[in-house]
Amino acid sequence: MDKTTEIKAAVFDQLVSHLQAHPEIQNIDLMIHGQFCRNCLYKWYHAVAEAQGESLSLEEAQEAIYGMPYADYKAVHQTPASPEKLAALEKIHQTKK
């Protein structure tokens, strides 16, 4: 691996660690403000692994990003979204169409 790839991998690891350390930052807030969330990260992680010929299940990708099984994360950390946040997210989805 070249130095640039090592740096990018380390930055990605720091981002994942930061998100794991801050579960109070809800996925919907990430989507509204950054137009990506932990779900996007695990899907990208899975897609890249598959593209490189690595066998990785979606569940393994979720655990790599969430730091625990997805169902456990949701049960412990996910809070119900307000109607305002749901409307803001829907507006983002509509503008992408």
Cβ proximity of 69 and 16 under 8 Å:
no
Eight-class DSSP state of 23: T
Tens of pLDDT, residues 58-77 = 999 999 999 999 999 999 99
Domains and CATH numbers, the chain: 3-96 (1.10.3340.10)
Tens of pLDDT, residues 28-60 = 999 999 999 999 999 999 999 999 999 999 999
Cβ-based burial of 14 (10 A; exposed 0-12, middle 13-18, buried ≥19) = exposed
Tens of pLDDT, residues 17-32 = 999 999 999 999 999 9
Of 65, 74, 64, 67, nearest to 28 by C-alpha is: 74
What backbone phi and psi angles, to 5 degrees, belong to 88? -65, -40
In the chain, helix, strand, coil percent, each to 5? 75, 0, 25
Say how far apart CA 82 and CA 77 lie, in whole Å: 15
